[in-house]
């Protein structure tokens, strides 16, 4: 009996040690996409960009093991929803995302803006714009969802901002819509900024969405994350 009791105690201790090791080694898995200058894969294939640097800074301050992967934006959200990833960034708030994840404090700022050729007859502030202008934003984005929810004529949803700008150039759409920071960076790299003008529509700061499934296991995580983000953005 004494021998069985000793074995029982040994087994319990081993399980506790194993649990603690696994808990400390648990890696936070975050998804992001190609949206320079916020996030992108650099020449070495490593996640890089303004938002990536903020997240790396915050998580290092928290002392949490983590991994950031660059994947298509729609997939980043689906993996989090399915419980195969712990979160995704950079993202603005919408009700669909709120169902399965919680948004952090602001990681990067932006304005959703309209981009039109300077030769365009359209003005986003005019009454006929919504009824007549062909618009577009990139696939899986909150800005694309906003266009559809607000009854704009959506004719393009490519995977990247560069593809969207090219569709604007060849007259497949009349106006491109999305993050001013992303558009301005792409236009500068493409060297065509002088042919296009922009109009700000909405202020849409972005953060990181963390899955509710992860937060159920780590109840104080979001408070600590928001504090760390604040330290890394000021």
SS3 letters for 173-217? CCEEEEEHHHHHHHHHHHCCHHHEEEEEEEECCEEEEEEHHHHHH
Does position 9 have pLDDT exceeding 70, yes or no?
A: no
Least confident range from 9-23, 106-120, 133-147, 171-185: namely 9-23
Confidence band of 6 (pLDDT split at 50, 70, 90): very low
Task: Using DSSP bridges, classify how beta strands 196-203 and 111-117 pair: parallel, antiparallel or unpaired.
Answer: antiparallel
- CATH 3.40.800.20 assigned to domain 111-203? The reply is no
Cβ atoms of 204 and 86 within 8 Å: the answer is: no
Quick one: fold of 2-108+206-232? Answer: D-Maltodextrin-Binding Protein; domain 2 (3.40.190)
Beta strands in the chain (DSSP E): 28-32, 40-41, 47-48, 66-70, 87-91, 101-103, 111-117, 134-136, 153-156, 175-179, 196-203, 207-211
Confidence band of 26 (pLDDT split at 50, 70, 90): confident
Confidence band of 19 (pLDDT split at 50, 70, 90): very low
Does position 150 have pLDDT exceeding 50, yes or no?
A: yes
Query: Using CA of residue 144, residue 147, residue 150, residue 152, what is the dihedral sign?
Result: negative
Q: When comparing pLDDT for 81 and 15, which is higher?
A: 81
Please indicate whether the domains covering 2-108+206-232 and 111-203 agree at the CATH topology level: yes
Residue 129 CB neighbour total at 10 angstroms: 18
Residue 37 CB neighbour total at 10 angstroms: 18
Q: Percent of the chain scored above 90 by pLDDT?
A: 88
> What's the CA gap between 112 and 177, in Å, rounded?
7
Can you tell me whether residue 234 is helix, strand or coil?
A: coil
Does position 1 have pLDDT exceeding 90, yes or no?
A: no
Looking at residue 10, its pLDDT comes to 42
Task: Kindly report the average pLDDT of the chain as a whole number.
Answer: 91
For 28-37, what is each residue's pLDDT tens digit? 999 999 999 9
Length of the chain: 234
Q: Where are the chain's structural domains?
A: 2-108+206-232, 111-203
Residue 71 CB neighbour total at 10 angstroms: 17
Q: When comparing pLDDT for 18 and 46, which is higher?
A: 46
Does position 77 have pLDDT exceeding 50, yes or no?
A: yes
Looking at residue 234, its pLDDT comes to 84
Look at the block and give the residue holding tokens 């648990």.
26
| Mean pLDDT, rounded, for 157-169 | 97
Does position 143 have pLDDT exceeding 80, yes or no?
A: yes
| Mean pLDDT, rounded, for 153-178 | 97
Q: When comparing pLDDT for 86 and 1, which is higher?
A: 86
Can you tell me whether residue 125 is helix, strand or coil?
A: coil
Does position 8 have pLDDT exceeding 70, yes or no?
A: no
For 195-208, what is each residue's pLDDT tens digit? 999 999 999 999 99
Looking at residue 25, its pLDDT comes to 56
């Amino acid at each position: 009996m004494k021998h069985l009791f000793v074995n029982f105690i040994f087994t319990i201790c081993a399980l506790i040690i194993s649990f603690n090791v696994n808990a400390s080694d648990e890696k936070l898995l975050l998804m992001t996409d190609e949206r320079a200058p916020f996030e992108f894969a650099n020449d070495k294939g490593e996640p890089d960009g303004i938002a990536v640097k903020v997240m790396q800074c915050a998580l290092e301050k928290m002392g949490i093991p983590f991994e950031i992967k660059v994947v298509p934006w729609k997939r980043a959200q689906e993996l989090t929803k399915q419980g195969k990833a712990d979160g995704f960034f950079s993202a603005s708030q919408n009700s669909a995302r709120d169902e399965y994840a919680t948004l952090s404090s602001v990681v990067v700022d932006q304005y959703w803006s309209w981009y039109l050729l300077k030769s365009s007859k359209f003005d986003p502030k005019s009454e006929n714009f919504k009824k007549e202008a062909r618009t577009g934003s990139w696939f899986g984005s909150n800005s694309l969802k906003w266009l559809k929810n607000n009854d704009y004529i959506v004719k393009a949803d490519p995977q990247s901002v560069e593809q969207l700008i090219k569709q604007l150039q060849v007259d497949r759409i009349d106006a491109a819509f999305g993050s001013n920071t992303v558009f301005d960076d792409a236009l500068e790299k493409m060297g065509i900024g002088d042919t296009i003008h922009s109009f700000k529509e909405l202020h849409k700061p972005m953060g990181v969405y963390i899955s509710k499934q992860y937060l159920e296991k780590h109840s104080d995580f979001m408070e600590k994350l928001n504090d760390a983000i604040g330290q890394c953005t000021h």
